[in-house]
Structure 1
Amino acid sequence: MRVALHSVLKEGQEAGYEEVHATVPADLLEALRRAGIDNWRIWRSGRHLFHLVDCEDFAAAMTALDSDPVNHRWQEFIGRYVDHFETTDGSPAAASERMALGEVWELRAQAAADEAAGDERAGGAE
C-alpha cells in the first residue's frame, strides 16, 4: 500500500529540517523497517512537506511505531521542526486510508491500461 501524507514545518525551520534528514539515525531506519515500512519519501515546498510511505499495512505500522522508544525519541526531536500533520488530530498515526491523500491519476497506470486495451483490440481483430 502507498500512503501520502502532508505536514507543515514551523516557521523558519526549513533548512534545519532538511539538515537533520540528510542522514537520519540508523536505529530509526531499523525501527521503520521493523514496523513494516519499505520506503518513506519526503518532498518540501516552502513549509509544506509531502510524504509518500510504502508499506503493507499503514495502520499497523503506525501502531508499531507508537510503542517503539526509538520512534518516541525521534518524534520528540523532530517536533522542534514540524508544526503539525494535516490529519484530524495532528499526528501521522491518525491517518487511515480515508484520511491520507488519495491518488487521483497516474500517467504510467493510464499508459499501461491504454496499451493493454490496444493489445486486446489488436488480438480480437484477427
Structure 2
Amino acid sequence: MERLALRTRLRPGCEEIYDREHAEIPAELEQAMREHGVRSWRIYRDGLDLFHFVEVEDYAALQAALRDHPADRAWQAQMNRLLDGDFDKGSGGLSLVWEMT
C-alpha cells in the first residue's frame, strides 16, 4: 500500500466550480479507480492550492491503467480546464518530511 500526497493549483476564480464538480465524481471513474487499487483519495483546498492524499496499492500501476480509460480521460479534460497547468500523471508526489503515527 502506498500513501502519497500530490499538489495541484487552480486557476483564479475556479474555486467554486472545482468544489461543486467534486461534490460527486462520475460513478464509472470511481469504479475504475477502485478496481485499480485506490483505497481512498482526499483533496484539501487552501485558496487555489489543492493537496491530494492518496492511498493506493500501486500508484504507477494506477496511472498506467487509467491513462487511456474513457472515464478518466473525460474527467481529466473537465478538471484540467480549471487547473493552472495540467494534472501531472507522472508525478511521484510530494516528499514526506515528517509523520506522527
| TM-score w.r.t. length of structure 1 | 0.74
Give runs of aligned pairs for residues 30-45 of structure 1, distance below 5 A.
30-45=31-46
- C-alpha separation in 1, matches of 2:12 and 2:63: 26
Could you tell me which residue of structure 1 aligns to residue 70 of structure 2?
Answer: 69
Amino acid at match of 1:83: D
Q: Deviations over 1:27-84 (max 9, x none)?
A: 1111111221111100000100000111111111011110211100111111221222
Listed as ranges, the gaps of 5+ residues in structure 1 are: 85-89, 109-126
Give % identity: 39
Using the TM superposition, give the Cα deviation of residue 104 of structure 1 relative to its aligned residue in structure 2, in angstroms. Answer: 1.5
User: Secondary structure of 1:93's match?
Assistant: coil
Q: Does 1:94 pair with 2:90?
A: yes
Q: Which runs of 5+ in 2 are unaligned?
A: none
2:31 matches 1:5? no
- Cα distance between partner residues in 1 of 2:69 and 2:83: 20
Shift in alpha-carbon separation, 1:91–1:15, aligned structure 2, 3 A: closer
- Structure number with bigger Rg: 1
Tell me the distance in 1 between the aligned counterparts of 2:80 and 2:68.
17
In terms of fraction of residues, the more helix-rich structure is: 1
Higher relative contact order (CA 8 A, sep 6+): 2
Is the contact between residue 37 and residue 54 of structure 1 (CA under 8 Å) also seen in structure 2?
yes
Equivalent-residue separation in structure 1 for 2:23 and 2:87 (angstroms):
23
Q: How many residues align?
A: 100
Q: C-alpha distance in 2, partners of 1:72/1:93?
A: 12
**Aligned mates of 1:102, 1:12 — CA distance in 2:** 29
State the superposition RMSD in angstroms.
Answer: 1.2
